[in-house]
Amino acid sequence: MSVTTKSLLAGTLVAALALSACGGGGAATGGTGPASGVAVQGTANCAAGAAPITFWAWVPGMVRAVAAFNASHPDICVSLQNVGSGNQEYVKVTNALKAGSGAPDVAEIEFDELPSFEITNNVVDLSKYGATQYRSKFVPWAWQEVSQGPAVYAMPDDAGPMGLYYNSDLLTKYHITAPATWADFASAAAKLHAADPGAYLTNFAAGDLQWILSLMAQDNAYPFRYSGGSNVTINFTGKAQLAFADYWQNLLSQHLVNATTDVDATAFADLDKGVDATWLSSAWGPSYFATAAKDSVGSWRAAPLPQWTSGAKVAANWGGSTYPVFTQSQHPQQAATFAEWLTASDPSWAILKTEPSSLFPTYQPLLTDSSFTGITVPLSGSSTPNTAFAAAAANATSVQWPPFMTEALTESATVFAGVLNGTGTLPDAFRAFQSKLAGYATAQGFTVSTS
């Protein structure tokens, strides 16, 4: 999703954090004091003299976990503040870090935004506070995305493993099975559209860069390489990248997929009314759709993403959050204790997996727990969508996010607009985007490779 729309699955359906899925939260005090007009939450169980920790997050119901931590850790007092979701929070964190005061001790930061804080040396290496002991509790890709060599710059939390969410009644009507490969997917798209010219197998959301990047990663065509420092690779024009673009452009040119937006009223109406028969979605996606679905409730099932190689099990992730400790913290050890408990403990996940938080974990013990994978929801009838999404979480591909994702997301909205409205092609957009982003990165002092 965009930098203003992260993942969050409401109700009992699984989810990962969504930047637009803000709601809950409370307020923080600690060393900075609460934002004007925002109430402090989570301090009811604090003992006198406990080390104050400021925590910024927007997950609904997060105050429940904060209160539980405070009750079980009498020497630490965490206070929670929701200063805004996604980019709203990032701007405030960045401004406070630049000013030298006012930053939280711990904050909710998306995987793709974490490198922006790493490169400015504003996050604490948590390995010195015992973070590495929790490595085995997380799916490997999530741990890799918060680490640089032996350093650990945040604790991973929720995620958005992707799957093929499909209308089983509609596919049955047209004698189509959930495609196992992308070749099967293209054939099924042609078959469905021939049978009903007003229907499509899926939509292609060219305006959502994070969605595109997730699918590129599953195709071994991810365009960025970055492991810290001033060297970065931006490659949208390599053989694998353009092959990916050609595959989707072929479907777009033949009008076999629906060129439209994603995660909005139009997309949900198309899914509910049978215009789009499937959705290449994240685990949190169905919760958004559930609030809009009427005609198709009970018909939706989750399957693995189609594979580029028959028999493979390559997955992808779209969304999710981490919890770093910032260098302004006057109590980094206590802040690290909180971040580690929040993300890597059974008591925390016993809370955060439930409504209204309903987060989809990168925490391995929960991913293999039948009480989690066996959840049913009205939108999916008697099926258990978490089964497919949990398998994807274990098989997702780790990626290296560049330290300028905010700029990339901003520029992509313009560069990819022509793919949505039919005035441009995806391969041409890839070439233009590489040029624009490479120019920006060079101007910022990076040494850019495009191959």
What is the domain-level CATH number for residue 130?
Answer: 3.40.190.10
Residue by residue, pLDDT tens for the chain (451 residues) are: 333 333 333 332 332 223 323 322 222 222 333 333 355 677 777 888 999 999 999 999 999 999 999 999 999 999 999 999 998 999 999 999 999 999 999 999 999 999 999 999 999 999 999 999 999 999 999 999 999 999 999 999 999 999 999 999 999 999 999 999 999 999 999 999 999 999 999 999 999 999 999 999 999 999 999 999 999 999 999 999 999 999 999 999 999 999 998 999 999 999 999 999 999 999 988 888 998 999 999 999 999 999 999 999 999 999 999 999 999 999 999 999 999 999 999 999 999 998 899 899 999 999 999 999 999 999 999 999 999 999 999 999 899 999 999 999 999 999 999 999 999 999 999 999 999 999 999 999 999 999 9
Residues 349 and 431 in one domain: no
Residues 257 and 348 in one domain: no
Sign, CA dihedral 411-416-421-422, equals positive
Residues 122 and 69 in one domain: yes
Residues 142 and 208 in one domain: no
Q: pTM for the complete prediction? A: 0.88
Residues 77 and 214 in one domain: no
Give the domain extent around 127. 51-160+321-373
Write b or e for each residue in 316-346: b if 16 or more Cβ atoms lie within 10 A of its Cβ, otherwise e: bbbbbbbbbbbebbebbebbbbbbbbbbbbe
Residue 212 belongs to some domain of the structure: yes
Residues 399 and 294 in one domain: yes
What gap in Å lies between CA 90 and CA 93, rounded to an integer?
5
Residues 266 and 313 in one domain: yes
What gap in Å lies between CA 8 and CA 352, rounded to an integer?
11
Residues 140 and 191 in one domain: no
Reduced to 3 states, what is the DSSP secondary structure of residue 307?
strand
Residues 57 and 132 in one domain: yes
Residue 81 belongs to some domain of the structure: yes
Q: How many domains are contained in the chain?
A: 2
Q: Look up residue 205 and give its DSSP letter.
A: -
Residues 245 and 394 in one domain: yes
Residues 68 and 198 in one domain: no
